[in-house]
């Protein structure tokens, strides 16, 4: 397998997961509307999800930068960061993204923004001080690939849909448990339908969370492959990932809301049992390095 084929395969898997994700939103909305015998609930649910997605996409960069405490990076203060990003942006055929820095010793970086013309690449001071230039190029190429591959929009949609499903399920369960009343008065078949609807709505947010995490992990593989193609030097990113993993300590203010954006897990190195991998926002570093080095041959 080559870097090109790996990139294409992971992209196909990601869009398949997004299709399943959207079907979950429609299924939950349908279940609630069936329970109350009101088809308008389904339309309202889908419309509300689209509106929230639009708002989140439009203002995602401001929200993320505020949550992470990032500040603007100048060319004079962060010369290597600036020139590496400038050169790779030209190579990728993209406008130069705005650069931000987080004052944190833990090495990490992320990209955000609503499109290629309004993109941001942000790195921690720990990453900028730790990486050699080739390693920094690998990290920045990874983040620029997120911008070029439109991952910003994809992950914003995934996060909002997961949160929306959780809120919708919570509202439905509270109403149904505390006097909501639905189709239960019509007999046994409806009782079975109600049980299935409740079970489905309980399971849906959990499944949505797993799909969101799976999408996040797939996008990391895609960005790794795309970044390696951009620099033509997979070893740079592989070495950078190893350094990020070896540091092991969490960032000062990690957040589950933004964890999926970072190149490395902001909560630090965790155990690698199957349960931790299932709920991780990032694929194992060893697997990422192996994919980079093996597919580059």
279, two tokens: 């709920």
For residue 178, the SS3 value is coil
Considering 76, 116, 137, 143, which one is annotated as catalytic? 143
Residue 72: in which H helix or E strand, if any? strand 71-72
- Provide the 10 A C-beta neighbour count for residue 256: 10
Interatomic CA distance for residues 161 and 191, integer angstroms: 29
DSSP output for 112-145: EESSGGGEEEEEEHHHHHH--HHHHHHHHHHHHH
- Residue 113, phi then psi, degrees to nearest 5: 120, 160
9, two tokens: 């395969």
Give which of 258, 249, 251, 247 is closest to 281, Cα–Cα: 258
206, two tokens: 């959990």
143 classed as catalytic: yes
Interatomic CA distance for residues 130 and 156, integer angstroms: 30
Interatomic CA distance for residues 220 and 226, integer angstroms: 10
Instruction: Spell out the residues 6+ positions from residue 62 whose beta carbon is closer than 8 angstroms to its own.
Output: none
Catalytic residues: 143
């Amino acid at each position: 397998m080559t870097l090109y084929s790996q990139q294409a395969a992971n992209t196909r898997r990601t869009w398949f997961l997004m299709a399943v994700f959207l079907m979950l939103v429609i299924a939950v909305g349908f279940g609630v509307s069936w329970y109350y015998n009101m088809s308008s609930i389904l339309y309202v649910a889908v419309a509300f999800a689209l509106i929230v997605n639009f708002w989140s996409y439009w203002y995602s960069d401001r929200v993320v930068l505020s949550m992470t405490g990032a500040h603007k990076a100048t060319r004079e203060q962060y010369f290597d960061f600036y020139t590496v990003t400038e050169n790779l942006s030209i190579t990728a055929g993209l406008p130069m993204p705005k650069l931000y820095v987080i004052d944190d010793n833990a090495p990490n970086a992320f990209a955000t923004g609503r499109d290629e013309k309004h993109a941001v690449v942000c790195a921690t001071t720990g990453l900028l001080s730790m990486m050699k230039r080739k390693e920094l190029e690998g990290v920045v190429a990874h983040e620029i690939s997120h911008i070029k591959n439109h991952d910003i929009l994809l992950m914003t949609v995934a996060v909002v849909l997961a949160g929306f499903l959780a809120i919708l399920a919570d509202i439905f369960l509270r109403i149904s448990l505390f006097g909501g009343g639905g189709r239960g008065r019509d007999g046994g078949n409806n009782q079975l339908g109600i049980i299935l609807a409740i079970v489905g709505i309980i399971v849906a947010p959990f499944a949505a969370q797993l799909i969101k995490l799976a999408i996040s992990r797939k996008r990391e593989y895609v960005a790794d492959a795309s970044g390696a193609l951009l620099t033509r030097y997979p070893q740079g990113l592989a070495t950078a990932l190893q350094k990020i993993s070896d540091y092991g300590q969490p960032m000062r203010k990690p957040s589950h809301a933004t964890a999926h954006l970072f190149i490395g897990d902001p909560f630090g190195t965790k155990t690698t049992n199957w349960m931790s991998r299932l709920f991780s926002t990032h694929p194992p570093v060893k697997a990422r390095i192996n994919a980079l080095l093996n597919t580059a041959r």
